[in-house]
Chains A and B, each alone.
Chain A
C-alpha cells in the first residue's frame, strides 16, 4: 500500500514512459536499459577526428591536420542513433537532448577539461526555421553535468550555408569557408565545440579555425555521433 502510494507519487513527479526505441517500459528514462546498452559506440576511433579506425591518428588527419586537437563521439551515427538524431532535430523531440547530453558527458569525463563549451552556432535564418539550436540544448545539459559554462554567443554563423548533407566532401570544405565570426579575444582558452553529428568535420574545422584566429589555445570537439567518413 505504502509502496504503491510512493510509486504513484514518483510517477507524478517523474512520469514512467516507454522506451523511444523498442516501446518497452523504461521508467523515467527515454531509452530502456537494454537498448541503452546496445547503442553503437565507437570502438577504436582516430583521437583527432573520431573517425572509426585502429585507435591511431588516421591517414586523413596525418595528411591534413585539422584545426582542432582532438574529438570524441559518444555514439556511431548508425541505426538507431541516426533515427534518434533525426527525430530530435527535425521532429522536435527535444527531450532527447537530455539523453544525448548525458551520453556525451559520460564520454567527455575522461577528456582534458576545457574552459568552456561552445555549441555549434546556427545561422539566425536556420534558427528561426528550426525553432531551437540542437547543439545548444545538448551543451546546456553537458554544462550542467560537468559544471562548465556553455556560451552560445561566443561565435556567430555569418553565412547561411547550403546544407552540408547535400554536398560532396570537397564541396563541404568550400561551402564552409568564412562561415563564422568571433569577436571575442579568447586568449589561450581551451574550448570544447559541441554538436550533434560530425560527418566530414568541415564545419567543425572551419569554426575551429575562426576560434584559433581569435586566440583560442586549444579546441576539442565533442559530438553525440560520428558518421563513417567516405573521403
Chain B
C-alpha cells in the first residue's frame, strides 16, 4: 500500500528515465539508498523498490529495454 509521498517519489524517479530507474533498483536491492531515496525510512524505501520493480517488469521483457 503506497502513500501520496511514495507515489510522488516514484513519479519523480520515473521522470529521471528508464536507465536511472534501473540503476536505482540495483542500489536499493543491495540494501543501500540513493540520493533520490535517502530521506525515506527503510520501510518506505522498500515500498519504492517494490513499485519500481513492478514498473520495470513491463519493460524488462520488452525488446530494446529502455530504448
Q: DSSP class of A's interface residues: helix, strand, loop or mixed?
A: loop
Question: Using a CB-CB cutoff of 8 Å, which residues 152-183 of chain A contact chain B?
Answer: none
Partner of B21, one of A47, A54, A62: A62
Q: Tell me the bound Cα distance from A69 to B10 in angstroms.
A: 22
Q: A56-B19, A57-B17, A57-B18 are in contact. Are A62 and B64 (CB under 8 A)?
A: no
Question: Using a CB-CB cutoff of 8 Å, which residues 39-65 of chain A contact chain B?
Answer: 47, 53-60, 62-63, 65
Chain A, residue nearest B12 (CB): A59
Interface size counted on chain A using CB atoms at 8 A: 13
Nearest Cβ distance between residue A137 and chain B, in whole angstroms?
31
Q: A47-B67, A56-B67 are in contact. Are A63 and B17 (CB under 8 A)?
A: no
Q: A62-B21, A62-B59, A63-B55 are in contact. Are A55 and B67 (CB under 8 A)?
A: yes
> With contacts defined as CB atoms under 8 Å apart, how many contacts are there between chain A and chain B in the complex?
35
Q: With an 8 A cutoff between CB atoms, is B11 at the interface?
A: yes
- Tell whether, in the assembled complex, residue A54 and residue B10 are in contact, meaning their CB atoms are under 8 Å apart: no
Q: Tell me the bound Cα distance from A32 to B40 in angstroms.
A: 57
Interface size counted on chain B using CB atoms at 8 A: 17
Q: Tell me the bound Cα distance from A60 to B18 in angstroms.
A: 11
- Tell whether, in the assembled complex, residue A57 and residue B59 are in contact, meaning their CB atoms are under 8 Å apart: yes
Chain A residues proximal to chain B, CB less than 8 Å: 47, 53-60, 62-63, 65, 69
Inter-chain contacts of A60 with B (CB < 8 A)? 14
Inter-chain contacts of B10 with A (CB < 8 A)? 63
- Chosen A-B contacts, 16 in total, with CB atoms closer than 8 Å, are A47-B64, A54-B17, A56-B18, A56-B19, A57-B17, A57-B66, A59-B11, A59-B17, A60-B14, A62-B21, A62-B55, A62-B56, A62-B59, A63-B14, A65-B58, A69-B62
Inter-chain contacts of B39 with A (CB < 8 A)? none
Q: Tell me the bound Cα distance from A62 to B10 in angstroms.
A: 10
Question: Using a CB-CB cutoff of 8 Å, which residues 13-67 of chain B contact chain A?
Answer: 14-19, 21, 55-56, 58-59, 62, 64, 66-67
Inter-chain contacts of A53 with B (CB < 8 A)? 17
- Report the 10 A-B pairs with minimum CB-CB distance, sorted nearest first: A59-B15, A59-B14, A57-B18, A62-B14, A56-B18, A56-B17, A56-B66, A63-B14, A65-B58, A62-B55
